[in-house]
Each structure stands twice: as structure tokens, then as C-alpha cells.
Amino acid sequence: MACRHLSGPQRGDPAKGGPQKGEPQRREPQWGVPQGADLSEADLGEADLSGANLLDARLSGADLSGANLSGANLSGAYLSGANLLEARLSEANLRGAHLGVANLNGADLRKANLLWANLFWANLSEANLSEANLEGTVLLNTDLTGADLTGCRIYGVSAWGLKLERAKQQNLIIKNLAEDEPEITVDNVEVAQFIYLMLHNQKIRDVIDTISSATGRVSRLVSVRVSICLSMATQWPR
């Protein structure tokens, strides 16, 4: 299913509402896609959708391999199972987008906004996510093999069962923008939440202190018992 090109009114035609002589020519959008348009299973491979408004669009199972979606508005879009192989999505707005099981292998997502997006079981291997906003993003069993996550914002990310072999994870930013707190950078997305809680949650620190204290007591007790056993062994008649 292809989007039709919208041609604007002709210049100098008052009957069609076109601009009069001396008035600037109006620029019509290249892609006219109604909000929430159903483009499921559409063949949009290699399409130029840069800057397109695809708000709440249904693109589940669509072929967008190699498509140019740079700067596009895909907020709330349904892209579950879509093929976005090597698609260009730099600076795209994917806020709250549904990308479960989507193929984003080799995709360019530099500076993309993925706030609250759902990427469960998605394939992001070799994708470039540098400086992307991943705050509140669901990364459940997501494949990030060889992906570049340098400089991503990851506050509130849900990271479970990730594949991170060869992934670049430098300078990941943890900061709650709603609070007046310093910016923290880490180099591992899976331990980011733990580190943040260690710094900002007194209850977590109390639990860790309790465990550390208990571990110390257990270690000392084991050491004493081992010493007693060794002493008894040396005195036991042969």
C-alpha cells in the first residue's frame, strides 16, 4: 500500500485557492498520511518518508527496509514485526512506539526519541543508537549485539535478558529530568538501575549494608569452623 502524493493548488488560480501573483508559493507535504492510518503489511522498502507525519500509524509487519524515516513523527506508531533493516531513523520521534519483534538490524537511530517505546524481542543488532533517548524504554530480550549505545539517555529503562556482545556502552546517561540532581554516566545498561538506586535510595543502601554485615559474620563463622576442623584432624589418631 503506497501513500499518494498530495499536489497543492496551482499557483495563480483563485478558483482553486492558489496564491495570487506576488504571493509566496505554499509547500505541500510530500506524504499525506492521516493520523492513525493503517499501513499494515505495506511495501515501503527504500521509500523516502523523511519528515513524514506517521502519528499513531499502523505499520505492523510492514516492509520499511532501507527506508528513509529521518526526522519522521512515528509517535505511538505500531511497528510490531516490521522490517526496518538498515532503515534511516536519525532524529525520528518514536515516543511510545510499539516495536516488539521488529527487525532494526543495522538501522540508524542516532538522536532518535524512543521515550517509553516498547522494544521487546526486537532485533537491534549493529544498530546505531548513539545519543538516542531510551528513557522508560522496554528492552526485554532485545538483541543489541554490536549496537552503538554511546551517549544514550537511559533513565527508567527496563533491561532484561539483553544480548550485548560487542555493544558499545560508553557514557550512558542516567538523570531524572524531573528532579534537580546531578547527571550520572555509566558504561553498562544492565547495571545502570542498580547504580542509580545505590546513589538515591536509602533503603537499598541499608539492605546492602545489612547483607555486607551478615556476610562478614558468616565468613568469620566459617573461618572459625574450618580452623576447628583442621585442629581436630591433626589430633585424630591415625
Model confidence at 193, pLDDT cuts 50, 70, 90, reads confident
CA dihedral 141, 178, 130, 186 (to 10 degrees): -70
Model confidence at 11, pLDDT cuts 50, 70, 90, reads very low
Tell me the mean pLDDT in the region 121-129. 98
Where along the chain do its domains lie?
Answer: 28-189, 201-238
Radius of gyration of the chain (CA): 27
pLDDT at residue 215, as a whole number: 58
Q: pTM for the full model?
A: 0.73
Partnered with residue 48 across adjacent β-strands are 68
Higher pLDDT pick, 34 / 127: 127
User: Is 188 a residue whose pLDDT tops 70?
Assistant: yes
Residue type, 40: S
Of the listed ranges 39-48, 140-149, 174-183, the one predicted with least confidence: 174-183
Q: Which of 3.40.720, 3.40.50, 2.160.20, 2.60.120 is the CATH number of 28-189? A: 2.160.20
Q: Considering only CA atoms, which of 65, 5, 2 is closest in space to residue 39?
A: 2
Question: What does the alpha-carbon distance between residue 43 and residue 220 come to, in Å, rounded to a whole number?
Answer: 67
Higher pLDDT pick, 185 / 217: 185
In sign, the C-alpha dihedral spanning 77, 33, 87, 192 is: negative
Instruction: DSSP letter for 141, please.
Output: S
Question: What does the alpha-carbon distance between residue 117 and residue 79 come to, in Å, rounded to a whole number?
Answer: 11
Question: What does the alpha-carbon distance between residue 44 and residue 177 come to, in Å, rounded to a whole number?
Answer: 36
User: Is 219 a residue whose pLDDT tops 80?
Assistant: no
Q: Which three cell numbers stand for residue 63?
A: 516492509
Higher pLDDT pick, 191 / 204: 191
pLDDT at residue 208, as a whole number: 63
pLDDT over 90 percentage in the chain: 60
Residue 133: count of CB within 10 angstroms of its CB: 22
Instruction: DSSP letter for 31, please.
Output: -
User: Is 222 a residue whose pLDDT tops 70?
Assistant: no
pLDDT over 70 percentage in the chain: 71
Higher pLDDT pick, 211 / 186: 186
User: Is 19 a residue whose pLDDT tops 70?
Assistant: no
